[in-house]
Amino acid sequence: MTVIKKNIAANFAGNIWQALMGLAFVPLYIKFMGVEAYGLIGIFATLLGLFALLDMGLGATLTREMARLSALPGREQEMRDLVRSLETIYWGIAVLIGLVVIIIAPFLAHSWVKASKLSPEAVEQAIRIMGFAMALQWPASFYSGGLMGIQKQVLLNVITSGISTLRGAGAILVLWLVSPTVQAYFSWQIVISMINTGLLAFSLWRNLPRSGKNAAFNKTLLAGVWRFAAGMTGISILSTALTQVDKVILSRMLSLEMFGYYSLVGLVAMTIYRITGPVFSAVYPKLTQLSAVADRDGLILLYHKSCQLMSVLILPFSVMVALFSYEIMLLWTRNPATAENCRLLLSVVIAGTALNGLMHIPYALQLAHAWTKLSLYVNLISVFILVPLIVYLTKHYGAVGGASAWVILNAGYVLVSTPVMYKYLLPTEKWRWYREDVGVPLSVSLIAAGLGRSFMPKELQPLAMALYLASVSAATLGLAAMATVTTRTWVLGKLSSPKTV
């Protein structure tokens, strides 16, 4: 098995397990703490997302530089010094994040969050504990990026899968045996974040190539990567604004309970990134290496294969969730009121997130060429359009209106910015992407899942409903896979390969 296939397999296994752990414990969180307290968990995730802008492109820079330098001989000391240099900056930012959250906790608790069951004092205390957890959790993405760059993605997934299990199961035990409060929940996040970041840091340093010298802070290396890092900083700031501004606005305009429902829907939609992440993480370093050695034919081949694989993984799943949103939420939460409040919201959010997911491989292609200008300009324009659009739609149509702005934004990426990318990087490949890589699997998924929706029996019991959804999902995925060249070739190859005893 090639490294890229091994990494994709490991990434999928890890991401699927992490998604299951993330989803499995949510009903218990709500049972122990209530929907309003779960809204604070949503705010925790939003703050982490907002503070991602302080990454300053360092995580993406580390991934790309580790991949590039690992393909070149005699760069062992440079790799180690670069990690040390970026690590020093990253931990300084982590401390700053913790202090900022602790300082703004009174403002968030008394002037921003609209809680009815939790007292402002309880909310303030929970947010202060969040600050400590964030400071310890934030550097984990840096070390993860380094492990991805040096192709240690199997090890990375073993660690993250184990940590996600401990994170969820440990939180339930704390809520059950210690205290069913949001403060206890975030106290556990401090402990597990410390373990997670420590393991990732140890693993990265252990797997860096040896050079015979101690790693040292090197300003010259930082100067060498500043241009790419600066471009990634701009993209990171704007991307964070685009992906988190809806949550910031809705956390202010909606009740904490309704924001809790929005957070639930967001958690389901984020499952798409569990699908796109494994492919992106495995393909991006390889695209970077192919670009570095100017292998254009190999790059185009890998690009289209990756785009088709991404579409087959994203589109059947997203269409199923959009068409069966009520049933999925009902099976998950076992609460008809929650399912009813989330059904339309989930359908809208999943559509926008699916479109966003399709952009991951085109984005990887841009980063592989160290071309950050397009994403920077597009995101800058989008921010000025999206913010007033969210405010207007949320004011007039509530949470569903705010979520609709997310769909509009990502439709613009697919229809406007993507053709520009092809013009400069792969001018002969645009229509192949629209037609073969996206159009075919989308059409097949809509037809298959739509027929399943039309013929679904009424008033199914939970087990029968789950079996029916599983059957329609399998049929939709299978048909989409057979309709796309890359996945069809792989499936038929597996079926026709001789079996060994």
Query: Residue 309: helix, strand or coil by DSSP?
Result: helix
What pLDDT, on a 0 to 100 scale, did the predictor assign at position 244? 67
The tens digit of pLDDT for each residue in 179-217 reads: 888 888 889 989 999 999 999 999 988 888 887 788 878
**Residue 460 dihedral angles phi and psi, to the nearest 5°:** -80, 145
Residue 395 has a CB neighbour count (10 Å cut-off) of: 12
Which of 388, 154, 116, 420 lies closest to 255 in space, CA to CA? 116
Distance of CA 392 to the CA centre of its chain: 27
Please report, rounded to a whole number, the percentage of residues in the chain having pLDDT higher than 90.
Answer: 19
CA distances from residue 198 to 21, 138, 159, 251 in whole angstroms, order as listed: 21, 12, 11, 32
For 495, the token pair is 């079926």
Contact status, residue 171 vs residue 24, Cβ threshold 8 Å: no
pTM over 0.75: no
Q: Please tell me which of 1-5, 97-101, 213-217, 496-500 the model is most confident about, judged by mean pLDDT.
A: 97-101
Q: Is the pLDDT at 467 greater than 70, yes or no? A: yes
CA distances from residue 238 to 148, 232, 372, 379 in whole angstroms, order as listed: 24, 10, 12, 6
Query: Residue 407: helix, strand or coil by DSSP?
Result: helix
What pLDDT, on a 0 to 100 scale, did the predictor assign at position 232? 65
pLDDT band per the 50, 70, 90 thresholds, residue 439? very high
Q: Is the pLDDT at 414 greater than 60, yes or no? A: yes
CA distances from residue 411 to 62, 345, 351 in whole angstroms, order as listed: 30, 17, 10
For 9, the token pair is 């397999």
**Identity (one letter) of the amino acid at 497?**
S
What pLDDT, on a 0 to 100 scale, did the predictor assign at position 362? 92
What pLDDT, on a 0 to 100 scale, did the predictor assign at position 57? 65
pLDDT band per the 50, 70, 90 thresholds, residue 500? very low
What pLDDT, on a 0 to 100 scale, did the predictor assign at position 23? 72
What pLDDT, on a 0 to 100 scale, did the predictor assign at position 501? 34
The tens digit of pLDDT for each residue in 261-289 reads: 887 888 788 888 877 877 887 788 788 87
Angle subtended at Cα 271 by Cα 457 and Cα 318, rounded to the nearest 5 degrees: 45
What is d(CA 399, CA 371) in angstroms, rounded to the nearest whole number?
35
The tens digit of pLDDT for each residue in 4-56 reads: 677 777 777 777 787 777 777 878 888 888 777 777 877 787 777 667 666 66
Q: What mean pLDDT is reported for the chain?
A: 83
Which of 300, 306, 276, 367 lies closest to 68 in space, CA to CA? 367
Query: Under 8 Å CB-to-CB from 286, ≥6 apart: which residues?
Result: 4, 302
Higher pLDDT pick, 103 / 246: 103
Full DSSP string of 199-239: HHHHHHHHHSPP-SS-----HHHHHHHHHHHHHHHHHHHHH
The tens digit of pLDDT for each residue in 101-148 reads: 889 888 888 877 777 777 888 888 888 888 888 889 888 888 888 888
Domain ranges (residues) in the chain: 1-219, 270-484
Residue 296 has a CB neighbour count (10 Å cut-off) of: 11
For 5, the token pair is 């296939």
What is d(CA 117, CA 102) in angstroms, rounded to the nearest whole number?
22
The tens digit of pLDDT for each residue in 141-181 reads: 888 888 888 778 888 888 988 998 998 889 899 989 898 88
pLDDT band per the 50, 70, 90 thresholds, residue 434? very high
What is d(CA 174, CA 172) in angstroms, rounded to the nearest whole number?
5
What pLDDT, on a 0 to 100 scale, did the predictor assign at position 61? 75
